[in-house]
Structure 1
Amino acid sequence: MKTKLLTALFLLIALSAVSQKLTVTSPNQKISANLYNDQQVNAGEWYLQVNYHKDSRVSEIIPRIELGLERDDQDFSKDLIFLKAGKPTLVREHYTVIHGKRSQCSNQANEVVVSFENPLKAKMNLIIRAYNDGVTFRYEFPEKEGTFVVKDEFTAYSVPDSTMRWLTKFNPANEGLYSTLKDGNEQKDWGYPALFNTPDKACWYLIHEADLNRTYCGTKLTNFGEKTKYKLTFPDKWNGREKGEVQPTITLPWKSPWRVIIVGTLADIVESTLVDDVSAPSTLAKTDWIQPGKASWNYWSDNHGTRSYKTVCAFADLAASMGWSYTLLDWEWDAMTDGGNLDDALKYIHSIGVKPLIWYNSGGEHTWVNATPKDRMLTHENRMEEFAKLKKMGIYGVKVDFFESEKQDMINYYLDILEDAAKFEIMVYFHGCLVPRGWARTYPHLMTYEGVRGAEWYNNGPELTTTAPEHNTILPFTRNVVGAMDYTPVTFTNSQHPHITSYGHELALSVLFESGMQHLADRPEGYYNLPDAAKNFLREVPNAWDDTKFVDGYPGKDVVIVRRKGDNWYVGGINSEIRRDKSKTLKFNFLPEGKKYQLTLIADGNYDTEFATRYLVVDKNSEIEVKMLRRGGFAASLKPIN
């Protein structure tokens, strides 16, 4: 059997003597990565092409991915001599995660290592993997010694005009809106992840990077040079107030982060764990202290809430009343008055069975924000002292804010915080930060990231009021695909600027948006005044999942996702339509055969602030019609009937 498997792999991965073409095909044979040489000889410039195979039809989804790097000592992009393609291997790994869209994950791909040398005889490898849901590749310098600066990376994705694309303009906090574009005429720095739909509509793909570590910087996509070519670009000098070097320094042997292209249907995109699959396994031997959960959060409704002991206690009471594990003490906790200080607040929070989380400024000259405490995360000595105090005070996690850069020094800083926090069994939440790069697999106590334009923006101006309905239907296909996303969702009252999404829409976000630490943002009365069905739903809905399935939708229009925890299923669906109501036929074919479930469906009522609740018995063959108001939505739970 083993011999047959290897023979089949060799047939799938063949080197043509004429065109110098190498093909690596996914285990299900639907996706292939093809290596070409511009000069059609054994040396020159090399590029990858990614194809999608469906119903005997081949779609060329990315016609050209340019390859190569330049170090300060020599170039690895031009005149590269092909030496050999290594023996093909089947990567097969199963792993378990504590929080995310799926508890049991599989890392399975066909891999080939291609060896090159440049005219100076220096070696570079290209490691290519084809997965059932995408293609990944990375560079490797296999030589055993030497320290160099990477001057540039030439990886560039050619995306033909008429390809639909959902792109977000890059900023260091990664809090932009996504634009829907049909060509490359808008030339900017673009953030990850970037979503594309091929001109023939046959295939979707999402471009990202993963397994970023201390040996490199974060990158972004730029199409300034050629509008249809999205090139990987290092951070700008101005990021982090010009602190840190733009170009990363590497020490051999060295491997780059994985360049990740998730490929397939919209279901393949939404359900993919590819970013985590290719990232380094967990560094932690003991993980029982890592506990996903929901948290009450006072900043959205009261920017200075943590400055007030009474407000802190009110939000702790909210968490206790709703059965949520945590409450977050956001900025200004070190200036708390109004009846008590931090010690008093912690004593009260613990007395009612709630677990406190606490905020910190990342500090340093890389951020202009002076909010205190600003200096307690900056150095190893600072952190060890502070984490020891937090452990003694019974604080379970830290929210660290305002990083403002993805240069190599800042990547080191992120990882320093994670590694020091783990020594004291402190969970971590990054805010004002990069988007996920697979770190939650390596450091499972990294519970969530902001890196999104979330509900906090209702405090920053009137824009999210009108853009949220569409924005919310794009995020499940883009930002939330690649890792936990703390949008701080589910608000029924208004903050400084109102929302026009319906109550049904807001309730659905508790299922649609995945976050290992889900901060529910409304004020206490926003939850206390809900009808019983909605209130009970928010008490029970999990935020760490055993499975996730995409049901229906299209970016910017609508989306329905179901998630499972144990034997129970939860459904969230939203609609961005501004003018008209919309109906969805909800099918339950994701349920197991032969089992009946009690369905509690909480949908839009007759107007935006009203719910309509139905109770039904359903099975795998059931279908029901669900009405969503304009900017509306629905949520549902399904519990097995024994």
Structure 2
Amino acid sequence: MKKGIFFILTLFFFNATFSQEAQDFVVTSPNGKIKVSILVGEKITWSVLHEKNQILAPSSISMTLDQNEVLGKNALVLNSKREKVNTTFESPFYKKSTIKNQYNLLLLNFKNGFSIEYRVFDDGAAYRFITQKKKDITVKSEEVSLNFDQDYGSLMPYVRDLRNPKDPYISSFEAHYANKKISEFAKDTLAFLPFLIDFKNQKKAVFLEANLQDYPGLFVTNNASKSGFQSRFSKYPLQEKNGGFNNINLLITERADYLVKTKGTRNFPWRIIVISENDKDLANNDMVQKLSEPTKIKDISWIKPGKVAWDWWNDWNIYNVDFKAGINTETYKYYIDFASKNKVEYVVLDEGWSLEDDIMKHSPNVDLETLIAYGKERNVDIILWCSWMALTKNTEGILKNYANLGIKGFKVDFLDRDDAKMVNSIYDIAQKAADNKLLIDFHGMHKPTGIQRTFPNILNFEGVKGLENNKWTPNDDVPTYDCSIPFIRMMAGPMDYTPGAMRNATKSEFKPSNSAPESQGTRCHQLALYTIFEAPLQMMADSPTAYMKEQESTNFIAKTPTTFDETVAIDGEVGKFVALARRKASTWYLGAITNWDSREITIDFSFLEKGKKYEAEIFSDGINAEKAAVDYKREIIAVDSATKLKYRLAGGGGLAMVIKY
């Protein structure tokens, strides 16, 4: 009897000692190309291989809670679970109707009530912390380290200098990409996600996050060894005051020493690496959708994507009329008439229709009720601009009031933060808007992280340096940026870039203008953006007068959908060019753009259904587009799945098509 007890005790202590030694776990992608290795010891690290290439060197992860409890320090694995998943799901108002969701899963359950879940797909890998605490918790910090085995190139959107006396976490999230090596990451600065690492062997990786709820967004800064990056998060706001542009921002005057106080049992955001062997695949990636929560809105039949006649970028600059153009009822009737004639679904009333700090008080020059009725008679609905600060003074009351009047949505601006308080506010606005059957366009906003799947009444986000900014920035290289964001920023979700300029300029001729703004690049570059850039609610940035003078281009924009059933990435190279085709029902739409380098591209029409003859309406750069960026050629030709055509894109140029049978 005593010998038996001694054996059991010996076995117990042996297992207890063994379980606290470093443990290795491996999970691979369904196709076997990606291998994620997890080491659980004094720290928890993960590394990622793609075939023989090291994408991520061993990188530690942890989460520090109150009472200095560190999830990930000397962690004890209780058990593990593996699962193979191969499903599909529908995501409304997206670039494709059905998404394939195949991955291998590893769930590690640890002592002290937490888990880490890893998912490995054929195109990337992700992990998230999960806690199972009985009481609420305070998250003090999170460690997300990203280490690399070599000094690779990166495309990094910087946000602010950490030495700046202003709060470095207050940002419009509008930045071009700095093309530098990892070691050249500017010291004491922050960058936001997504960003790209170039492995110089045709492979690239983009780093993102998804399912950001009740938690701050992730920033990165350089690590001490200059071989990678480490995480930074904005602390929870305690005190705020009015400030910023027109005094309509809430500036943070005091922050807590923690990230968030939250539920003890919950899932935390996904940390994601997407890996590509071909640049074009990044422009047709669904990872954020796959890692986001399904819709919380049972009836989505009232949600109507579409295009918007927009006033602000063109400075209400209409002419050949017998009234004074501006923020007034007559001008907006003109916008509505234009939208109705061209079957544009919405008109937005941007700043000026109300008091900026009290949107329940209208401008005496804007008869809102008359405009709503006028639009309804012409099948045009109204969307209202407002600041986040003004809306959140009485979110539920304001949304209910304007929904009852017949307004269809709000463009909410100047959020300019992604701390946990702001993230929670975004979910609150989305839910209350859905309760009142209202659409939301979050302008002045951080990048999306999948909330558009959860709340599909959110049809767009900014978090991009779009056309509205570009009209004042002659030193920005806009065509190169346009050829970069489909492979980086657009992976996170839709972009309120606001294309559609009818005044187009070459690199040498572009000049800033407020009331007669121009775009960098050709007319066809602008037309192509309506297919390339994802935006279920897509602005038409120029004035009705400009569009009516260019009716042929306007017709093309007006008939291009804003959501699609299928997307095919034809070709592309980050920062140089991109070509995408998208299908809506049986009609295909194609867009291609280039940076300031003119180039010849080949369009392979093999994405078309075999055996059918199609008619392609094609807008290509005109022979004189290098000098006159407005120059284009329109032609209609027959094509089929065997067709291959070469086109020369002018510097800053583009190509746009509608293909139907």
TM-score (norm 2): 0.85
Q: How does 1:118-197 map to 2 (within 5 A)?
A: 122-143=112-133, 145-170=134-159, 172-187=171-186, 188-197=189-198
Q: How does 1:318-329 map to 2 (within 5 A)?
A: 318-329=338-349
| 2:545 equivalent in structure 1 | 525
| 1:368 equivalent in structure 2 | none
Distance 2:426 2:450 in 1: 13
Q: How does 1:449-598 map to 2 (within 5 A)?
A: 449-464=461-476, 467-493=477-503, 495-496=513-514, 498-530=518-550, 532=552, 534-578=553-597, 581-598=598-615
Could you tell me how far 1:459 is from its partner in structure 2?
Answer: 4.2
Could you tell me how far 1:553 is from its partner in structure 2?
Answer: 1.5
Could you tell me how far 1:160 is from its partner in structure 2?
Answer: 4.2
For residues 408-454 of structure 1, give each alpha carbon's deviation from its aligned partner in whole angstroms, at most 9, with x where no partner exists.
11111111101111111101110111110100110010100011100
Could you tell me how far 1:260 is from its partner in structure 2?
Answer: 1.3
Distance 2:399 2:366 in 1: 23
| 1:294 equivalent in structure 2 | 307
Name the larger-Rg structure.
2
CA distance change for structure 1 residues 167 and 450 in 2, over 3 Å: closer, same or farther?
A: same
| Residues 502 and 518 in structure 2, CA contact (< 8 A), matched pair in contact too | no
| Residues 79 and 110 in structure 2, CA contact (< 8 A), matched pair in contact too | no
CA distance change for structure 1 residues 349 and 621 in 2, over 3 Å: closer, same or farther?
A: same
| Residues 310 and 339 in structure 1, CA contact (< 8 A), matched pair in contact too | no
The one-letter code matched in structure 1 to 2:478 is: A
Distance 2:460 2:226 in 1: 34
| 2:387 equivalent in structure 1 | 361
| 1:371 equivalent in structure 2 | none
For residues 281-305 of structure 1, give each alpha carbon's deviation from its aligned partner in whole angstroms, at most 9, with x where no partner exists.
1101100001110010010011797
| Residues 560 and 574 in structure 1, CA contact (< 8 A), matched pair in contact too | yes
The one-letter code matched in structure 2 to 1:282 is: T
Distance 2:286 2:449 in 1: 11
For residues 46-76 of structure 1, give each alpha carbon's deviation from its aligned partner in whole angstroms, at most 9, with x where no partner exists.
21111113xxxx2111112311111121332
TM-score (norm 1): 0.87
| 1:8 equivalent in structure 2 | none
| 2:59 equivalent in structure 1 | 65
CA distance change for structure 1 residues 528 and 408 in 2, over 3 Å: closer, same or farther?
A: same
Could you tell me how far 1:340 is from its partner in structure 2?
Answer: 4.8
Distance 1:572 1:519 in 2: 17
The one-letter code matched in structure 2 to 1:586 is: I
Distance 2:77 2:352 in 1: 60
SS at match of 1:87: strand
Could you tell me how far 1:18 is from its partner in structure 2?
Answer: 9.8
Q: Is 2:261 the partner of 1:249?
A: yes
SS at match of 1:51: strand
Could you tell me how far 1:225 is from its partner in structure 2?
Answer: 3.5
| 2:392 equivalent in structure 1 | 378
CA distance change for structure 1 residues 303 and 63 in 2, over 3 Å: closer, same or farther?
A: farther
For residues 452-500 of structure 1, give each alpha carbon's deviation from its aligned partner in whole angstroms, at most 9, with x where no partner exists.
1001113444344xx1111111110111121010100021127525333
SS at match of 1:307: coil
Q: Is 2:32 the partner of 1:25?
A: no
State the identity as a percent: 26
SS at match of 1:68: strand
Larger mean CA deviation between 277-286 and 97-106 belongs to 97-106
Could you tell me how far 1:611 is from its partner in structure 2?
Answer: 1.1
SS at match of 1:553: strand
CA distance change for structure 1 residues 387 and 182 in 2, over 3 Å: closer, same or farther?
A: same
Could you tell me how far 1:202 is from its partner in structure 2?
Answer: 4.0
Q: Is 2:406 the partner of 1:417?
A: no
SS at match of 2:481: helix
| 2:103 equivalent in structure 1 | 109
Q: Is 2:629 the partner of 1:602?
A: no
SS at match of 2:531: helix
| 1:628 equivalent in structure 2 | 649
Distance 2:224 2:105 in 1: 32
Equivalent position to 1:97, from 80, 84, 91:
91
| Residues 62 and 144 in structure 2, CA contact (< 8 A), matched pair in contact too | yes
Q: RMSD value over aligned CA atoms?
A: 2.4
Distance 1:196 1:588 in 2: 31
For residues 229-256 of structure 1, give each alpha carbon's deviation from its aligned partner in whole angstroms, at most 9, with x where no partner exists.
2222112689952266451112211221
| 1:51 equivalent in structure 2 | 49
Q: Is 2:248 the partner of 1:258?
A: no
Q: Which runs of 5+ in 1 are unaligned?
A: 1-14, 38-42, 364-373
Distance 2:574 2:233 in 1: 28
Distance 2:326 2:46 in 1: 52
CA distance change for structure 1 residues 237 and 81 in 2, over 3 Å: closer, same or farther?
A: closer
SS at match of 1:267: helix
